[in-house]
Structure 1
Amino acid sequence: MSKFKTLDDLDPSGKTCLVRVDLNVPMADGQITDMTRIDRILPTLRELSGKGAKVVLLAHFGRPKGQILPELSLRQIVPALTHALGKPVAFAADCVGETAQQAVAALVPGEVILLENTRFYPGEEKNDPDLARQMAKLGDVFINDAFSAAHRAHVSTEGLARLLPAYAGRTMQAELEALEAGLGNPAAPVMAIVGGAKVSSKLDLLQNLMTKVDMLVIGGGMANTFLAAQGKDVGKSLCEHDLADTARRIMDTAAENDCEIILPVDAVVAREFKANAAHEIVSVDRIPGDAMMLDVGPDSVALIRSKLDGTRTLVWNGPLGAFEMEPFDKATVATARHAAALTSAGALTSVAGGGDTVAAMNHAGVGDKLSYVSTAGGAFLEWMEGKPLPGVDALKPA
């Protein structure tokens, strides 16, 4: 994509590069439980360091809301980052001011330093121009490698890009190229799979997708609301009955846009919401009144797979069932593996992300077998909804 500059357009040798990264990693008992976000930024850091740049990392951690909270210090990330990068990573206990300036000034080309949590300053989330100017003093160029924070107009995602020459890092570049292939300029026909619990949290998403895809598969708890809107009895299934009119409108609008909505034709139902609960497979027309739908059934999976066989582009957000509990993970796993096989064969471009989707794809063993799995959460969802992403827009030439 030529809409923004990448590291291919930069000679970083001798330059101090301010690099916005995503280090908002999950932790338990002082240990990082998932290294994905750290692993994703390594190509950018190694490239810049290897070419003799002074690499200054900017990141947030948690939600300190402008307060200095020791438990949200980025210092605790340094050991894991050092280990992953295979070289020392220095740390500065501030992200602006004298402490930061002296630490950055002490760097020699090729060295890497992590600055303290940008959100310890209330001005970060307010995109305060004064804070942006202070931060910009630390570097020569700005590189954004945190797509996951690109839906926020903060100092370290948007403000700096207005003050310094701005480039997309390798992770940002890969994400944007994957998204362009997914919905920007996709090969048709295009299928979207949207799952998850509630229609209410995905209304903007559904409205946008109906105008951009040829087939829309609806699974998870959301499907129950659509089935109920068609007059089917969904028993004790999770269902937003008050959104029946909304669901019918969505189906009508989809028809007007030649978008085929694919709903489950059968369901795996149980009387209790727990792993390995006694369960049965029934038609969606015959869901028992005392049962709840916890997964789509094998006939539904066969239908989705047959549609996938003729699809060129797949965008996936949300699981088809309660994938975190066996055996209600079967539909999500089978569909994900089929998508991965088609992707491996070169027949399908597959982009997945947002919410539980990463966990679901990893559970299915296909996290590295789709074209791209986004760890960006909210940013991925807002992109799917067709909303502007300030951190991306700021990288585009004026």
Structure 2
Amino acid sequence: MSLIVQKFGGTSVGSIERIEQVADKVARFKAEGHSIVVVVSAMSGETNRLIALAKEVQPRPVPREMDALVSTGEQVTSALLSMALSARGVKAKSYNGSQVRILTDATHTKARIREIDNERLQADLDQGFVLVVAGFQGVDENGNITTLGRGGSDTTAVALAAALKADECQIYTDVDGVYTTDPRVVDGARRLDRITFEEMLEMASMGSKVLQIRAVEFAGKYNVPLRVLHSFEEGPGTLITKEDKSQMETPTIAGIAFNRDEAKLTVLGVPDMPGVAHRILGPIGEANIEVDVIVQNIAEDNTTDFTFTVGRLDLDRAEEILQEVARELNAEEVRADSKIAKISVVGVGMRSHVGVASQMFAALAEVGINIQMITTSEIKISVIIEEKFLELAVRCLHSSFGLEKEPYDESTA
């Protein structure tokens, strides 16, 4: 008998009608002989409603009380789904995070899971119950309710799958799998049958919103097979799993990821001396602003131009900090650009194929797109371009690497 953990997001349980549909699906799996643990999010819009209520009472709510409040959304869904299953003759029990004892650290609103006590869950599974667990939440060592941050139900599901040694963790959402790129941008985007943890992690970090990054990291660490499926349409979805070593020598591009929420800052005419990078980026880091791509150019007059990217929402604060740093360093000026985007080619096949970068750059040059910055990893090449060219860049790269037809190989080069 296989054990499956299934996670349903907010839109999948957004109404009583949807909850009834989910109950039908879970009941079918149970009838097929599977052991089932279901993790649910709050009903669509409920978390936002609770946050708005909190801010009416207190503009900056106490984090401990905020966690106590917003965790109730998932608890409502888990109880309703458990009732719907019981109405179908399926033995079911609902659990909140503290009842399962999903032990976390004490960082309210963005806690991290430390361990899960699976003894109680396993006992109920052995008795034939379907377990319906409220996602997104846990409890710290002092018994305080904690939450895992936005999208935390994905992490709950993967963590439970790891603790219970589940055969598969199925993430049900409003798309039928992971695509080679956003189908709204490229009509020919193709659903992937399979993708590695590493590739999915890069795709998620580069802007793909299908899965929460922390959930993918957790799945990779504990080797939990993930499958992304549509909540209400039948299909095989996309399996996310470890790399198949037998395919390691096959040059493959998994997909094209992109992110519009980028901004670029440049400090011009910085004295070229030891420690200057720290002098620039240190205050940025102290302000809890994440830096992404970094480029430093050295001129003949012993000065350097230092450029880096940040999230667009952090641009104003980062520019304010840099203006002060520039004065201290006697730099020429600070320039900011919020009209950029990042586009990435992702694939484990880059490890064994050297032509990916040149093909990417040639494809962009062919349609007149200038590359402003470049960064690479073992399985990813990212470039910064003008935002107005983003969709053109995605389409031309998707076509260049033949992603609408077959995974990229030498025959398509």
Give the TM-score range, shorter chain.
Answer: 0.3 to 0.5
More strand by share: 2
TM-score by length of 2: 0.33
Q: Which has the higher contact order (CA 8 A, sep 6+)?
A: 1
